[in-house]
Copies of this chain bind each other. A is one copy, B any other.
Amino acid sequence: MVTLKDVAKRAGVSVSTASYSINGSSLITKETKQKVLLAAKEIGYRTNGPAKNLKEKKTNIIGLFLSGFTGPFFTDMMEGIQDVVIQNGYELMVYASDDKHRLLVERYVDGAIILNYHMEDSFLESIADEKLPCIVLDREMETPFINQVLLPNERGSAMAVHYLLEKGHKRIGYMAGSTESYDGEMRLKGFKKEMQKHNHSFSEKDLLRADFTESSGYLAMFQYIEKHTQNVPTAFICANDEMAMGAIRAIKEKNLKVPDDIAIIGFDDIYVSQHFSPSITTIKVPRKQWGIIAAHSLFKMMDSKYKVETDGAVSIELMSRTSG
């Protein structure tokens, strides 16, 4: 491996001079600087990142820790994060896992954004500190070096319920995702709360469980209709658009009409939703903005060395289309 020492030798200067030159210090004269740079290029010198990190006690890397590379939903968010991270002269490293978190534990990152239900609160508390502030996207936590940037999930569900009640629906069902998802459970909570608020009864048998995928939504709805034929709600709210698509597919297959027999409302407004047939009424979540806010909030924390108020909440809106 070619090191700074080699560069220095070839350029006929000391290691320190070589280092200063490569880092563009103003102390060094132009000529020596060029001499060094040339030597470096000639022998193919490349900085050794870990060594640099060790000395500087920072990596200039931000980590995004997910529980999986799942679905179309997250890529927009990643792009938002990526933009901000690059702007700030850092790199973004995406890491998906369900058990170990070495890159987080071993200080490979200067900051972290977390959306990973596998990580326990206590674990996060133990690793977050001044040198490693964290943003959590999937839980509520109030501790010194951890900040949350959450989606207004409850409000979204409330909007959907309100919208359906206005349209005269009496009995509304709900298709939830897996219980492990914070966003998912909040959406369910918001739904129940709003129903209650309007004195609308909701029986647990109209609560379907799936796992956020299209196929699981299809299956859940198919089985539900099979079992409760002739006695189903006139509308369903689904915890995300993919399940809504699955539900619609099942309904069609059972020779029922959307929205005439059963109206469907989704959540997220992923790209295909407006092109689906029928186009899906849904709660639009600005995913990229979410990522941007999260990343900004992280850098603010890294600057201030302490907890900080997150600026600008994520704003959602109901997109009224044909499915509901």
Q: How many copies of this chain sit in the oligomeric assembly?
A: 2
Query: Across the interface, do A94 and B94 meet the contact criterion of CB distance under 8 Å?
Result: yes
Closest B residue to A218 using CB positions: B275
With a CB–CB cut-off of 8 A, which chain B residues contact A57?
A: 1
Check A223 for interface membership: any CB of B closer than 8 A.
Answer: no
Q: How far is the CB of A72 from chain B (nearest CB, A)?
A: 5
Query: Across the interface, do A50 and B46 meet the contact criterion of CB distance under 8 Å?
Result: no
A69 to B11, CA, bound (A): 42
Contact with B along A77-89 (1 / 0, CB 8 A): 0110010001000
Check A34 for interface membership: any CB of B closer than 8 A.
Answer: no
With a CB–CB cut-off of 8 A, which chain B residues contact A44?
A: 126
With a CB–CB cut-off of 8 A, which chain B residues contact A93?
A: 93-95, 103
With a CB–CB cut-off of 8 A, which chain B residues contact A1?
A: 57, 131
Contact with B along A54-71 (1 / 0, CB 8 A): 100101110000001111
- Which of chain A's residues 240-261 have a Cβ closer than 8 Å to chain B? 245, 249
Q: How far is the CB of A108 from chain B (nearest CB, A)?
A: 5
Interchain residue pairs A-B with the least CB separation, the first 4: A49-B106, A50-B53, A94-B94, A50-B50
Question: Could you write out 11 A-B pairs with CB less than 8 Å apart?
Answer: A1-B57, A1-B131, A46-B107, A47-B105, A48-B54, A48-B106, A49-B102, A50-B50, A69-B78, A91-B100, A214-B275
